[in-house]
Structure 1
Amino acid sequence: MKIIDIRDAVVPISSPIRNAFIDFSKMTASVVAVVTDVVRDGKPVVGYGFNSNGRYAASGLLNERFLPRLREADPESLVNEAGDNLDPARIWSTMMTNEKPGGHGERSVAVGVVDMAVWDAVAKIAGQPLYKHLADTCGDGTHDNSVFVYAAGGYYYPGKDDARLQEEMRRYRDMGYEVVKMKIGGASLEEDLRRIEAVLDVVGEGRYLAVDANGRFDLHTALAYAEALKPYNLFWYEEAGDPLDFQLQAELSKVYPGPMATGENLFSHQDARNLARYGGMRPDRDWLQFDCALSYGLVEYLRILKAIEAEGFTSRNCVPHGGHQLSLNIAAGLKLGGNESYPEVFAPFGGFADNIRVENGHVGLPQAPGIGFEQKSALIRTMRTATET
């Protein structure tokens, strides 16, 4: 078997929302299709991938470096020893040929897009949902039957007052989510506290609300927010400072007793290990948010899990950023702590299979082979349209 074609495209995921650091008015994403010579139901098996929100399309890197390396490789070097499926690790190594260590960032996004498509194809060829394939090949042979998910929203946008913020959070609770997340740091501390209290009037208790500063704060501001947030007993306080400022995170952990979360903007197992070692993160209460679609893909995410395990954390500490179906499969197959969800933004890439609903803060799993893109009609239509023209 072999890869016979690799296609990429750029699609918009723009919206008028903003967090504390960026707006999403010009946001784009890369979509990749990996076409194989394996035939199922009379059609070639095609694996699809895309990058998570918050990073732009990586088409330049894909077309100048990573896709040419795959196209030029001996097809047999990209398959497993049995010759009956693609080998994600070999494909990953081929893409990273002649790349120096370090330099994580947009490079990791480009590799992650292709990696997602490869794993989708691998599971389809194996005839299994990806979570089952991961449980059998990378896990302990068992998987979770449902996954904890929280509704990420609460963005700032023009004209959005407290009443509209409350309406948004009510919709999420009506959808079946228990925990919701809102943005902070894009307004004054006083205004953000008012917004938090408005949401608490909807969800009832702090344990149902997470807040996210998107790396906006310096240490002084992060500590000021920490003191103000303590009485609320929130689900977590997320990414207070720059993702690579491990000292800031460590100082915060000394004064903030509640759960904290960070890691979505760390893109390698080395950075994940450094966060676990030097960031003051506490395995008994804190959450790690590495997003495989931004951090070189699932091949690297497996290394991340090993790296944090050596530092006292487990897979249950991980709740990936991104709200996409690849992380949902990983969460079930490798027994993570949960997954993010975007019920109302970044369509059609956020959300889960059309026929699966969120119940009591948990979502079920699709039975179709692969990641499950075909079970989300708007998403598969977008990816097919983008890569077949």
Structure 2
Amino acid sequence: MKIVDIREAVVSISSPIRNAFIDFSKMTASVVAVVTDQVKDGKPVVGYGFNSNGRYAASGLLNERFLPRLREAAPESLIRDDGTNLDPHKIWATMMVNEKPGGHGERSVAVGVVDMAVWDAVAKINGVPLYKHLADTYGDGTHDDSVFVYAAGGYYYPGKDDSQLQDEMRRYRAMGYEVVKMKIGGAPLDEDIRRIEAVLEVVGEGKYLAVDANGRFDLETALAYAEAMKPYNLFWYEEAGDPLDYHIQNELSKVYPGPMATGENLFSHQDARNLARYGGMRPDRDWLQFDCALSYGLVEYMRTLEAIGKEGFSSRNCVPHGGHQLSLNIAAGLKLGGNESYPEVFKPFCGFADGIKVENGRVGLPDAPGIGFEQNSALIKAMRDATNT
């Protein structure tokens, strides 16, 4: 049992869309393939990983620090004590040798990419879907058969008017999504309120619409939007201020009674714990969006779940950012509150298994070993082509 090769590539996920803070015209992602000496159906077991949108490819960090450490490690130091499989926790610890604590920036993305590939390989070697492996190994032995998903979109786009925004949301509802999400903060308040009302004409009620400011607002602006949006009773008000400005989040909680969401740009269990302690987030209604693919991977995500649990939050408070199948498996296996979905952007690094439809706002999972990438034909082709596997 050993890793025989690790391959890394950079792929483009560029798009002309923008949110309140960045555009995606030059967005890239890293893809990693972990090749093992195990053979299933006559082929080597390969685990795949990639990083979520919004953070660029981490190839420099991967090739300068993290992949060399794995390649130089004794093969037996990366496997379980009983020799039956790779050990994600040992692999994670090896990657983080000589890394100082704190500073959870882009290195968390690099580690998360590899970690995803390792978990994919582990579940494939065991011959079970990752969600089942997680439920049996770290959960109570049961998993959710389907997962709540919402359709993330509503980006600012050159020439996009309210009627086109409405058409986009109609498409999502026709796909089976109940809750949709749109961007705010990239236009003046009165214009964004007009856009919100246009979408409400399509979805009917505020409980079916989430809005996302992508960390754009100062406190005064965040409060102004909160006051203007109160009457709509929205599904959530997401990332009003800078993700590390817990003061803004705390002040919002005092005046905004509706659900809030944040956390996608916090990349460690320590930052997640600080948000839970000091950010004014309320376990009875608010949502935490930590994305394991950006925050050191699933090994660290389990520490995050433990940390927020001690602060009164449940795994059901978590609806990860990213719209990828790793979070979908975690949501089912460790019983999170749901998962993001990108029906029309960031292709092919979006979507779930071919042939499994979203119904009444929920999506099922394939009964396939690993994360299930092979059941998403466009995605697995892109990753195989990028890594020559």
SS of aligned partner of 1:9: strand
Partner letter of residue 372 of structure 1?
A: G
Q: Distance in 1 between matches of 2:176 and 2:35?
A: 37
Q: CA offsets per residue over residues 304-351 of structure 1, 9 Å max, x none?
A: 000000000000000000000000000000000000000000000111
* C-alpha distance in structure 2 between counterparts of 1:140 and 1:275, whole Å: 27
Partner of 1:106: 106
Matched residue type, 1:121: A
Alignment partners' CA distance in 1, 2:82 and 2:355: 36
Match of 2:30 in 1: 30
1:103: how far off? 1.2
Tell me the distance in 1 between the aligned counterparts of 2:265 and 2:125. 32
Who is 2:320 aligned against? 320
Residues 80-159 of structure 1: matches in 2 within 5 Å? Answer: 80-159=80-159
Whichever residue aligns with residue 288 of structure 2, its letter is L
Match of 2:253 in 1: 253
Tell me the residue number matched to 1:361: 361
Counterpart of 1:179 in structure 2 is: 179
Partner of 1:228: 228
CA distance in structure 2 between the aligned counterparts of 1:289 and 1:26, rounded to whole angstroms? 24
- Looking at structure 2, the residues matched to 180 and 126 of structure 1 have their Cα atoms a distance apart, in angstroms, of 36
Give the Cα separation in 1 of the matches to 2:113 and 2:154: 27
The CA distance in 2 between the partners of 1:156 and 1:175, in whole Å, is 21
SS in 1 for 2:185: coil
> Paired residue for 1:343?
343
CA distance in 1, matches of 2:137, 2:349: 27
**RMSD, matched Cα:** 0.5
Query: Matches of 1:378 and 1:365 in 2, distance apart?
Result: 17
Measured in 2, the distance between the counterparts of 1:185 and 1:296 equals: 29
Structure 2: distance between partners of 1:12 and 1:72: 29
Which consecutive unaligned segments of at least 5 residues does structure 2 have? none
The secondary structure found in structure 1 opposite 2:173 is helix
> What residue in structure 1 maps to residue 75 of structure 2?
75
Look up the SS of the partner of 1:46 in the other structure: strand
Letter in 2 for 1:181: K
| TM-score, normalisation: structure 1 | 1.00
Distance 2:336 2:6 in 1: 31
Residues 58-115 of structure 1 deviation map (CA, whole Å, 9 limit, x = unaligned): 0000000000000000000000011010000000000000000011110000000000
Number of the residue aligned with 1:281: 281
Query: Distance in 2 between the 1:237 and 1:247 partners?
Result: 16
Q: In 2, Cα distance between the equivalents of 1:365 and 1:56? A: 28
**Which runs of structure 2 are paired with 1:175-254 in the superposition (5 Å)?**
175-254=175-254
For residue 331 of structure 1, give the secondary structure of its aligned residue in structure 2: helix
Name the structure 2 match of 1:60.
60
Deviation track 1:44-69 (CA, whole Å, cap 9, x = no partner) reads 00000000000000000000000000
For 1:157 and 1:174, locate their aligned partners in 2 and report how far apart those are by CA, in whole Å: 22
- How many Å separate the matches in 2 of 1:263 and 1:67? 27
| SS at structure 2 position matched to 1:121 | helix
Q: Distance in 1 between matches of 2:225 and 2:247?
A: 17
How many Å apart are 1:20 and its aligned residue?
0.1
Letter in 1 for 2:72: E
Counterpart amino acid of residue 59 in structure 1: S
Q: Distance in 2 between matches of 1:185 and 1:273?
A: 27
1:372 CA drift (Å): 0.3
Aligned partners of 2:136, 2:148: CA distance in 1, in Å? Answer: 21
Matching residue's letter, 1:346:
F
Aligned mates of 2:75, 2:314 — CA distance in 1 = 36
Displacement of 1:251: 0.4
Matches within 5 A, 1:366-381: 366-381=366-381
Displacement, 1:379?
0.3
Provide Cα deviations, 1:136-188, integer angstroms capped at 9, x if missing partner.
00111100000000000000010100000000000000000000000000000
Matched AA of 2:111: V
Which residue number corresponds to residue 295 of structure 1? 295
Which stretches of structure 1, 4 residues or more, deviate above 6 A after TM superposition? none
Give distance in 1, aligned partners of 2:102 and 2:9. Answer: 27
TM-score (norm 2): 1.00
Amino acid at match of 1:359: E
Specify the SS of the correspondent of 1:4: strand
- State percent identity of aligned pairs: 87
1:206 CA displacement: 0.1
Distance across 2 between alignment mates of 1:355 and 1:190:
41
Shift, 1:128, TM fit? 0.4
CA distance in 2, matches of 1:103, 1:271: 10
Structure 2 SS opposite 1:294: coil
User: Counterpart amino acid of 1:302?
Assistant: M
2:304 paired residue number = 304
